[in-house]
Amino acid sequence: MSDLPNCPKCKSEYTYEDRGLFACPECAHEWNAADAESSGDKDVGLVIRDSNGALLQDGDSVTLIKDLKVRGSSSVVKVGTKVKNIRLVEGDHDIDCKISGFGAMKLKSEFVKKG
């Protein structure tokens, strides 16, 4: 029998090791051995990274790196706009936030940088 850990995301037993990472063929989740040992049996939460690869968490502040058109209006959220107290969610647009002057919005993490 294999002594590899089950996938922490979908609990699949068909994991394999590839270049120092564990991978799941069923859900395509990848993690390293140190994460598996430190988290034990805890459920792995959302792992969302900004455009530079920095890990984002709920409550972080981010800055837009691109002008973004607001759907349904002619206004644009300009590059350099700071957004405070973000909330991470699952889906295509993975950041929920409030931008002053625009209200509640959903952003993609690829268009923001932490800080």
Per-residue pLDDT tens digits for 60-112: 999 999 999 988 889 999 999 999 999 999 888 999 999 988 899 999 999 99
**pLDDT tens digits, residue range 22-63?**
888 888 888 886 665 555 444 456 788 899 988 999 999 999
Tell me which residue of 86, 90, 99, 98 sits closest to 54, measured CA to CA.
86
The pLDDT assigned to 79 comes to: 95
pLDDT band at 1 (very low <50, low <70, confident <90, very high): very low
How far, in Å, CA of 96 to CA of 107, rounded?
A: 7
How far, in Å, CA of 33 to CA of 31, rounded?
A: 7
The pLDDT assigned to 101 comes to: 87
Which region, left, alpha or beta, applies to residue 37 given φ > 0 means left and ψ of -120 to 50 means alpha? Answer: alpha
Q: HSE-up of 87 (CA within 13 Å, CB side)? A: 8
The pLDDT assigned to 38 comes to: 52
Phi and psi of 56, rounded to 5°? -100, 150
Tell me which residue of 82, 79, 89, 76 sits closest to 62, measured CA to CA.
82
How far, in Å, CA of 36 to CA of 55, rounded?
A: 17
Strands (DSSP E) along 15-93, which ranges? 16-18, 21-23, 30-32, 48-49, 55-56, 62-64, 68-69, 76-77, 82-83, 87-88
